[in-house]
């Protein structure tokens, strides 16, 4: 595959001085861990099974391939994208809350990608692995909060809704969706409203996903996006999906498509070209695409398969950790939100392992992935 991209103008090379720890960042991290553990403990008490503190419910568990494009410009041929080739991947589609909600409680969606068999000097804690993870969410290129402290505040708000009456959550979600429609009709958007159930009831496979916070991209800095590119996915963008009376309506829709179809996404990179308009420590700022557009570096392809099953859920939801800190140094996460997330992902995985009496594994290949 050949890349149609031209190199962006003058991407900035990373310097350690660009990252400035917040006052009390360690305390913020500790409070984050307490909040996430509380969510896990509440859901464990309710269900008897330990799940992720956030993004607990999966809607698609897919195997596929990452095709890195041939002929990339030098500034884009970095890290795992340094050479053209094909790599197996795991994909996990999810929604944000830490409890297993009826899909009529409509919240933001996540796309976790694990690339297997990559080479390069490893990040601390993943020295013996051969994977590179990318964690993305829809609802815009910017994070809902600028920094770690504000992120903690938003998580505490989400945590306060854990274990609330399901019928009440459905009613609240309907109100929030109506509120968000009004806000968007006036040209705005509310991350808080969307996060509390105001996400439009649309098909998850039509969504575009963003890393929102930056990572290293070789010597440069970048944000990542995954965009539907096959015709069958593009026609699902903003397409209403009726999940009323269908507790797992999103999952059902994913399973239905992959029963017969192949899906394709582009993996795109936005390089930092101006620190003033593309800050590293303020994740709430959307980097302007007129200054640095998202450019395609690879394509993700997933063929027909059983997109979700109990066997796949046990293999992936229970036993596998997705973390942006699983990877190579060339793609190290940067910025305060990314820094405090490392311990959070590790704590959540440890909690699942202990309470489900299962080992968390990092795959070397997909040989034992349930067919």
Give the pLDDT score at 149.
Answer: 81
Share of the chain above pLDDT 90, in %: 65
Of residues 371 and 119, more confidence is placed in 119
> Tokens 């997909």, residue?
366
The alpha carbons of the chain give a radius of gyration, in whole angstroms, of: 19
Domains of the chain, by residue range, sit at 16-161+200-356
> In the structure, what pLDDT confidence band is assigned to residue 142 with cuts at 50, 70 and 90?
confident
pLDDT at 93 over 70: yes
pLDDT digits (tens, 9 = 90+) for 166-177: 544 444 344 333
Burial of 86 (0-12, 13-18, 19+ CB in 10 A): middle
176-235 pLDDT, tens digit per residue, is 334 334 333 444 444 544 444 457 889 999 999 999 999 999 999 999 999 999 999 999
Name residues whose C-beta falls within 8 Å of residue 245's C-beta, 6 or more positions apart in sequence. none
For residue 6, the model assigns a pLDDT of: 64
Contact predicate 97/56, CB 8 Å: yes
- Asked if 76 and 295 touch (Cβ cutoff 8 Å), the reply is yes
Three-state secondary structure call for residue 227: strand
Extended strands (E) in 56-214? 57-68, 85-95, 109-116, 131-137, 209-210
In degrees rounded to 5, what are phi and psi of residue 268? -120, 155
Q: What is the pLDDT of residues 325-360, one digit of tens each?
A: 999 999 999 999 999 889 888 999 999 999 999 999
**Whole-angstrom distance, CA of residue 326 vs CA of residue 361:** 12
Confidence grade of residue 160 (pLDDT, cut at 50, 70, 90): low
Rounded to 10°, the helix 336-356/148-159 angle is 40
Q: What pTM does this model have?
A: 0.88
Residue 371 scores a pLDDT above 90: no
Amino acid 46: pLDDT: 84
Q: What is the C-alpha separation between 21 and 50, in angstroms, rounded?
A: 32
pLDDT in tens, 301-317: 999 999 999 999 999 99
For the stretch 241-299, pLDDT in tens is 999 889 999 999 999 999 999 999 999 999 999 999 999 999 999 999 999 999 999 99
d(CA 229, CA 69): 15
Looking at CATH, the fold of the domain delimited by 16-161+200-356 is given as: Catalase HpII,  Chain A, domain 1 (2.40.180)
Ordered alpha helix ranges (H), the chain: 25-47, 148-159, 166-185, 191-195, 231-234, 249-258, 310-313, 336-356
Please provide the average confidence, as pLDDT, over all residues in the chain.
87
In residues, how long is the chain? 371
Rounded average pLDDT over 93-117: 91
What residues contact 3, with CB distance under 8 A and at least 6 apart? 69, 70, 71, 72, 73, 76, 296, 297
pLDDT digits (tens, 9 = 90+) for 56-74: 999 999 999 999 999 999 9
Alpha-carbon distance 282 to 100, whole Å? 31
| Alpha helices by DSSP H, 105-165 | 148-159
Q: Which of 232, 233, 215 is nearest to 224 (CA)?
A: 215
Note whether 323 and 92 are within 8 A (CB).
no
């Amino acid at each position: 595959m050949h890349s149609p991209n031209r190199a962006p103008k003058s991407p900035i090379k990373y310097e350690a001085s660009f990252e400035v720890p917040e006052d009390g960042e360690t305390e913020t991290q500790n409070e984050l861990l307490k909040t996430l553990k509380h969510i896990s403990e509440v859901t464990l008490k309710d269900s008897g099974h330990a799940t992720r503190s956030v993004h607990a419910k999966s809607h698609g568990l897919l195997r596929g391939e990452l095709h890195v494009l041939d002929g990339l410009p030098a500034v884009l041929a970095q890290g795992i994208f340094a050479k053209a080739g094909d790599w197996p991947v795991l994909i996990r589609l999810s929604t944000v809350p830490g409890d297993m909600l009826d899909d009529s409680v409509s919240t933001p969606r996540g796309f976790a990608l694990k690339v297997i068999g990559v080479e390069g000097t490893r990040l601390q804690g993943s020295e013996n692995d051969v994977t590179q993870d990318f964690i993305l969410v829809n609802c815009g290129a910017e994070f809902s909060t600028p920094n770690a402290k504000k992120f903690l505040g938003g998580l505490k708000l989400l945590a306060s809704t854990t274990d609330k009456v399901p019928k009440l959550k459905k009613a609240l979600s309907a109100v929030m969706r109506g509120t968000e429609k009004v806000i968007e009709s006036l040209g705005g958007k509310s991350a808080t409203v969307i996060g509390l159930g105001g996400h439009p009831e649309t098909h998850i496979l039509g969504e575009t996903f963003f890393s929102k916070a930056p990572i290293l991209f070789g010597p440069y800095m970048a944000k990542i996006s995954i965009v539907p590119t096959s015709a069958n996915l593009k026609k699902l963008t903003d397409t209403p999906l009726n999940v009323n009376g269908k507790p797992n309506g999103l999952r059902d829709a994913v399973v239905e498509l992959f029963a017969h179809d192949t899906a394709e996404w582009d993996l795109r990179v936005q390089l930092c070209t101006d620190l003033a308009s593309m800050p590293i420590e303020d994740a709430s700022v959307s980097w302007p695409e007129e200054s640095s557009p998202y450019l395609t570096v690879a394509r993700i392809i997933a063929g027909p398969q059983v997109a979700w099953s109990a066997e796949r859920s046990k293999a992936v939801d229970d036993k596998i950790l997705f973390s942006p800190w699983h990877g190579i140094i060339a793609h190290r996460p940067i910025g305060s939100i990314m820094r405090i997330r490392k311990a959070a992902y590790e704590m959540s995985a440890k909690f699942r392992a202990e309470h489900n009496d299962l080992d968390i594994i990092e795959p070397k290949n997909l040989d034992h992935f349930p067919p």
